[in-house]
Amino acid sequence: MGKLIDSQNSFTLNNSVSAATMRNWERLNTKNKKERCSARANKRMSDKCIIPKESFDATANIPKVEKLVNDIQIAGYSIDDVIFSLGINLLSKTQISDSNLSYLKTEYDLKIIDKLQRIELPKESDLLGLIYQCLQTEGEKNIKGSYYTPKKVVQSMVADIKLKLTDKILDPCCGSLVFILNIPNIKPEQIFGSDIDPIAVMISKINYFIKFPQTGKKPKIYEADFLELPNLLNVRSDNFQQDINENNFDYIITNPPWGGISTANHFASSDILSDEIFSLFLVKSFKHLKNNGKMRFLLPCSILNVKTHQDIRKYLLEKTDLKEIKLHHGSFSGVMTQYISIETNKNDRNAKTFTISKNSKKCEIDKKSLNAENYFVISVIDNTDKEIIDKVLAKKKYDLSNAVWALGIVTGNNKGKLFDKPKANFEPIYTGKEIAPFKLKKAKKYIRYDRNNFQQVAKDEIYRADKKLVYKFISKNLVFSIDNSGQLFLNSANILIPQIPNMSINSVAAFLNSELYQYLYQKMFGEIKILKSSLAALPFINITPEQDNEISKKVENILQSKQDDYSDLQRYIYNLFEIDDQQINHIKSELYGNTN
């Protein structure tokens, strides 16, 4: 078979940056574009390798794997030879049959590296998957959407499955096959899988034989794109069509690629207008469920509330028997977004409600309460959350939809245009790091303000406004500073000039920096980025000039002092919305954990 080639792993500058960025680089005569792209916050070009520490069974094995990976990189071995050699090493510790070992060696005509075949390896349930993740760059993983699922999450999604002997289970994005192999009492003949990554498929087959070394069943695991439609140009010589594409299953469980958009030859669905890859995987997988079959997917939390994903929410609510959405803690190494798992079934009758689970709390949601008017947004709330949000929304009079918004300066070359010390005709420029509640920290960079020399720049009158708000947008928390001296900001900060009747900028900042609004943002939108569309939808109430003056004075006291205790202001905001002590304690518990 020779070297394994991963078709997903090729990319160019043109598919790594926007057309607008490329045009700006040409306008500014930018050189070394690939290096520039690597230096930007562009994961598709990142050559960093990340150790997925959350996926280890034993933390004591982390330094052992780090050393092994470092030795492999220094030796310059090819990844496929490395994985195959380590796989043969692991299989030598089992009672694998001669026929199964021969099958693998025939299937993968790869070099066996003697040193790797003989070394002592740490005991991990998915050692090959871990090492493969460590050897891939962040750019490679980002292009593929190849972030393997932490073991705790895998087990939480499969531990309760009770299989009948006749059940068949598919993972259409199987990675190293960890979902299926962690199902209790799984049998070889029940396992079906596919993945577009040939090395992942090889790992799956090796893991299959590690678990079933004496089985007489050859693995039904295929290197294939589950979404690709069969045609005359991609006729296959294997049994993928019969085993996967023409079959129906009792369970389909997977973590599909996140963030990609389908190409023209992919499975098309009239239900999915966004062409989001994970949405297409979900729809096609559902079509391959047997009646009364169950499907479990791990997905980014953004699927619940981002407008782009309203199509898949509508599909789940109207075409499937959605049973449960479960929130998981943390995130993957190299991935910012939080994640959820969903369970949906295929039945003749769909239930009218579904459950949202977070920690030990469960909340029933009426599907009819989610409609096109609010883009089928699913809020992860319990009954107390609902009471608080309803109370706030009942008082809503205004929002930020009429505000002036702007992005900070995109220089096109921070290294060449920013300096640590002031120079003649230079001025301070602030980044997201210097944004704190209400007031800016001291600027650490200086720039010459030449609008023609920047890649992207907002209107001068916005930067030089008498008073404006600036905020971090890569943040879990709402953090707004007030700028009343016409300062400049880099694009790690966004700018907002609110237009709310009877409300000064000081007062708007007080609301946006409050615990109540942090809680509202978390519950209503669930984002870990501070998005303009979400901020614009936050509810603001009608306040009197006297109330505005009172809030503004409290903010001025904060600006003029070094105090970080805003408890008096927090209480004032709570009182305006008539939030009682019990509800305040609930909000604090949601934001900071148990406060008792």
**Listed range (179-188, 290-299, 584-593) with the worst mean pLDDT:** 584-593
For 512, half-sphere exposure in the C-beta direction (CA atoms, 13 angstrom radius) is: 31
- What whole-number distance in Å separates Cα of residue 19 and Cα of residue 16? 10
**Torsion region of 259: left, alpha or beta (phi above 0 gives left; psi -120 to 50 gives alpha):** left
Question: Quick one: pLDDT at residue 15?
Answer: 46
What's the Cα-to-Cα distance from 193 to each of 79, 132, 167, 359, 457, rounded to whole Å?
22, 18, 14, 31, 49
Q: Would the pTM count as exceeding 0.85? A: no
Domain 404-592 belongs in CATH node 3.90.220.10: yes
Asked if residue 415 lies in contact with residue 35, where contact means CB atoms within 8 angstroms, the answer is no
pLDDT range class, residue 218, cuts 50, 70, 90:
very high
Question: Quick one: pLDDT at residue 596?
Answer: 52
**Type and span of the H or E element at 589:** helix 581-592
pLDDT range class, residue 11, cuts 50, 70, 90:
very low
DSSP class of residue 474 equals B
**Domain segments of the chain as ranges:** 404-592
- What whole-number distance in Å separates Cα of residue 433 and Cα of residue 444? 10
pLDDT range class, residue 10, cuts 50, 70, 90:
very low
**Torsion region of 141: left, alpha or beta (phi above 0 gives left; psi -120 to 50 gives alpha):** alpha
pLDDT range class, residue 534, cuts 50, 70, 90:
confident
Q: How far apart are the first and last CA of the chain?
A: 62
What's the Cα-to-Cα distance from 439 to each of 34, 434, 477, 577, rounded to whole Å?
37, 9, 15, 25
What's the Cα-to-Cα distance from 256 to each of 21, 179, 329, rounded to whole Å?
29, 12, 19
Q: Is 331 helix (H, G, I), strand (E, B) or coil?
A: coil
- The token pair at 546 is 């006297």
Query: What average pLDDT does this structure show over 9-30?
Result: 50
Query: What average pLDDT does this structure show over 192-196?
Result: 97
pLDDT at 196 over 50: yes
What's the Cα-to-Cα distance from 158 to each of 161, 184, 237, 281, 545, rounded to whole Å?
6, 8, 33, 19, 57
- The token pair at 139 is 């750019």
Query: What average pLDDT does this structure show over 268-296?
Result: 94
Asked if residue 109 lies in contact with residue 226, where contact means CB atoms within 8 angstroms, the answer is no
Question: Going by C-beta distance under 8 Å and a sequence separation of 6 or more, which residues neighbour residue 293?
Answer: 248, 249, 250, 251, 252, 345, 346
pLDDT at 527 over 90: no
Is the model more confident about 98 or about 348? 98
* Proportion of the chain above pLDDT 70, given as a percent: 87
**Type and span of the H or E element at 37:** helix 33-39
- What whole-number distance in Å separates Cα of residue 481 and Cα of residue 509? 7
Neighbour-count burial for 279-305, b at 16+ CB within 10 Å, e otherwise: bbbbbbbbebbeeebbbbbbbbbbbbb
Query: What average pLDDT does this structure show over 463-488?
Result: 94
Question: Quick one: pLDDT at residue 306?
Answer: 83
- The token pair at 558 is 């904060």
pLDDT, tens digit, 9 for 90 and up, residues 484-511 = 999 999 999 999 999 999 999 999 999 9
What's the Cα-to-Cα distance from 4 to each of 12, 85, 142, 199, 201, rounded to whole Å?
21, 14, 19, 7, 10
pLDDT, tens digit, 9 for 90 and up, residues 45-85 = 445 667 888 888 999 999 999 999 999 999 999 999 999 99
Question: Quick one: pLDDT at residue 305?
Answer: 82
pLDDT, tens digit, 9 for 90 and up, residues 370-395 = 888 778 888 777 778 889 999 999 99
Query: What average pLDDT does this structure show over 468-483?
Result: 93
Asked if residue 383 lies in contact with residue 518, where contact means CB atoms within 8 angstroms, the answer is no
pLDDT, tens digit, 9 for 90 and up, residues 298-326 = 998 889 888 889 999 999 999 999 999 99
Question: Quick one: pLDDT at residue 38?
Answer: 47
pLDDT at 255 over 80: yes
- What whole-number distance in Å separates Cα of residue 530 and Cα of residue 432? 12
Question: What is the crossing angle of helices 515-524 and 567-576, to 10°?
Answer: 60
Question: Quick one: pLDDT at residue 449?
Answer: 96
DSSP string, 279-308: HHHHHHHHHTEEEEEEEEEEEEGGGGT-GG
Return mean pLDDT, the chain.
88
Q: Is the dihedral of CA 588, 594, 595, 596 positive or negative?
A: positive
